[in-house]
């Protein structure tokens, strides 16, 4: 498939093109959004979320999307995939791993668009294959149970321990910024991939 138009590519993307992220359903959208926003300081960023049930929504009104985010979301919807845009974050909430793979192909087609492919579902062979297309693989957690899961992770997976962020998670949902309490942890993971 062809890549996205050049005007949709973030200008300051770091070396990561598509990062995989596994997280509990309650954390997956916020963690993926915050990580994508830290991957590039300008331009649109994309998040593809595989999650059972309805997608998380922040409780406050969202800022209007940037023109580049509007174009990217329209491109994905034009190809038959769900997509919403808030500020510079474009999010595609899909119900199946197969659809996440199709959206990733569209986003990955030769562009340098910062993308996070996140799964908040049980790990299966299909989820592992999807995550195998992404580098690096990040395991996110925000509690003691998650910390145990991270410590038992297979080699090569990067741990992302997120401290409590309170209401600041709305910043990630709005496509504005990572919650301040998460910035250091996310930057450490992104820096370890350089």
Look at residue 71 and tell me whether its pLDDT is greater than 50: yes
Q: Which helix (H) or strand (E) holds 84?
A: strand 84-86
Q: Indicate if the pLDDT at residue 187 is higher than 50.
A: yes
Q: Is 16 inside any structural domain?
A: yes
The answer to whether 48 and 104 are in contact (CB under 8 A) is yes
Paired tokens of 142 = 């925000």
Averaged over 88-99, what is the pLDDT?
95
Residue 63 vs residues 48, 88, 176, 187, 193: alpha-carbon distances, Å: 20, 10, 8, 25, 31
Mean pLDDT of the region 48-66: 75
Q: Tell me: cis bond preceding 136? Omega within 30 of 0 counts.
A: yes
Q: pLDDT for 132-172, tens place per residue? A: 888 888 988 887 766 666 666 666 788 899 999 999 999 99
Report d(CA 150, CA 97) in Å as an integer: 22
Highest averaged pLDDT of the listed ranges 91-95, 131-135, 190-194 = 91-95
Q: Phi/psi at 122 (nearest 5 deg)?
A: -60, 140
CB-neighbour burial class of residue 127 (10 A; exposed 0-12, middle 13-18, buried 19+):
middle
Please say if the pLDDT value at position 185 is more than 60. yes
Quick one: pLDDT at residue 8?
A: 33
Q: Does pLDDT of 98 surpass 90?
A: yes
pTM: 0.86
The domain total for the chain is 1
Is residue 89 predicted with pLDDT exceeding 90? yes
Cα dist. 135→16, 40, 92, 180 in Å?
7, 16, 19, 24
Query: Quick check: is 131 in a domain?
Result: yes
The contacts of residue 30 (CB under 8 Å, 6+ apart) are 56, 165, 169, 172, 173, 179
3 state SS of 14: coil
1 found inside a domain: no
pLDDT for position 60? 67
Give the pLDDT mean for 104-125. 86
Give mean pLDDT, residues 19-46: 93
Does residue 188 or residue 60 have the better pLDDT? 188
CATH of the domain at 153: 3.40.50
127 domain-assigned: yes
Tokens of 32: 């993926």
Residue 59 lies in a domain: yes
Residue 96 forms part of a structural domain: yes
86 falls within a domain: yes
Give the whole-angstrom CA distance, residue 191 versus residue 181.
17
pLDDT surpasses 50 at 15: no
Write down the pLDDT at residue 108.
Answer: 78
Confidence band for 58, pLDDT divided at 50, 70 and 90: low
Q: Is 48 part of a structural domain of the chain? A: yes
What range defines the domain where residue 89 resides?
6-191
Q: Stretch 22-50: mean pLDDT, rounded?
A: 93
């Amino acid at each position: 498939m062809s890549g996205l138009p050049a005007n949709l590519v973030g200008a300051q993307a770091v070396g990561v093109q598509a990062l995989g992220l596994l997280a509990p359903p309650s954390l997956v959208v916020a963690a993926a959004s915050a990580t994508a926003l830290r991957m590039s300081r300008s331009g649109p960023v994309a998040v593809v979320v595989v999650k059972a049930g309805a997608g998380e929504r922040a409780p406050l009104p969202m800022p209007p999307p940037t023109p580049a985010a509007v174009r990217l979301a329209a491109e994905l919807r034009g190809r038959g995939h769900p997509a919403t845009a808030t500020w510079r974050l474009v999010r595609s909430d899909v119900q199946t791993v197969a659809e996440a793979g199709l959206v990733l192909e569209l986003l990955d087609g030769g562009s340098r668009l910062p993308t996070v492919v996140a799964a908040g579902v049980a790990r299966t062979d299909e989820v592992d294959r999807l995550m195998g297309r992404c580098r690096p693989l990040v395991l996110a957690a925000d509690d003691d149970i998650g910390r145990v899961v991270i410590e038992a992770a297979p080699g090569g997976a990067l741990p992302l321990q997120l401290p409590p962020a309170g209401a600041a998670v709305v910043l990630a949902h709005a496509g504005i910024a990572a919650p301040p309490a998460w910035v250091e942890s996310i930057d450490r993971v992104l820096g370890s991939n350089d």
